[in-house]
Amino acid sequence: MNNLSLVLAESSLEMIPREIQNHSSITSHSKKLGKSPSNILLDNSWHYAAMKGIQNENKRGRPDIVHFSLLEACSIPLYFEKKLSIYIHTLDNKVITVSNNIHLPKSFHRFAGLIEKLFSEKIIESDGKKLLEMNDMSFSELIEEINPKNVVGLSRAGKPSSFHNVAKSLTSNSCLVIGGFQKTHFSDQTVSKIDHLVSIDSDSLESHIVTARVLYEYEKTIFK
């Protein structure tokens, strides 16, 4: 079977970390929502002041990147035809496995609510079917579990190519890796598990744009 795995790697998706839970901008937002900080997604559009100076600041607090990239991947014929497996690897080594029949919430507040529930319960089911599952797992462990023939990572640090040529290189049982964060590059550990690191634009493009374009080109190679 012709199947592609997509991994959004080192993604900006986590609950508000303990070290900043007492910051005034967090406590006021938490009070407004009526939820404990440990049950709220870290989001730099609300928590910017509290996030100043935390480790890996540029790779954190952007759940919208995961939301948009997932909406690109889960709203296309390739996904509807069940030819795409999707995984979200987070910066602190959790892996979300996305089922092949999810209707992702379009509204951000519903998406955030769903992910907050997932962080707390580790699994989201509907009518007895698993929609999302979260496990502690590193990027390396995930790649071992997927066990692809070929791992292609997209990064400005890679060898220049094009969306079309990247798509052509995704032969049967390939794994495509896209950064689920805003700035900087993949960590060395992530790069060490990638067979081909390629760059598809000299400028930096947003994760959701990269996701949309490469999946579209891939779809064209398999749906004649």
Q: Which residues bind a second copy (CB under 8 A)?
A: 43, 45, 62, 64-65, 68, 71-72, 75-77, 80, 105-110, 163, 201, 203, 205-206, 208-209, 212-213, 216
DSSP assignment of 156-169, as one string?
A: EEEEE--HHHHHHH
DSSP assignment of 93-153, as one string?
A: SEEEEEPTT----SSHHHHHHHHHHHHHHSEEEETTEEEEEEEE--HHHHHHHH--SEEEE
Determine contact, residues 38/18, Cβ cutoff 8 Å: yes
Least distance to a second copy, CB of residue 81, Å: 10
Closer CB to a second copy, 77 or 160, in the complex? 77
Closer CB to a second copy, 26 or 212, in the complex? 212
Contacts of 85 (CB under 8 A, 6+ apart): 3, 4, 5, 6, 98, 100, 146
- The structure tokens listed for 67 are 């939301």
d(CA 82, CA 102) in angstroms, rounded, equals: 11
Least distance to a second copy, CB of residue 141, Å: 30
Closer CB to a second copy, 149 or 220, in the complex? 220
Least distance to a second copy, CB of residue 108, Å: 4
Closer CB to a second copy, 10 or 43, in the complex? 43
Distance of CA 174 to the CA centre of its chain: 17
Contacts of 184 (CB under 8 A, 6+ apart): 58, 59
Distance of CA 130 to the CA centre of its chain: 18
Least distance to a second copy, CB of residue 85, Å: 19
Least distance to a second copy, CB of residue 101, Å: 15
Closer CB to a second copy, 42 or 151, in the complex? 42
DSSP state of 26: H
Closer CB to a second copy, 54 or 209, in the complex? 209
Least distance to a second copy, CB of residue 144, Å: 32
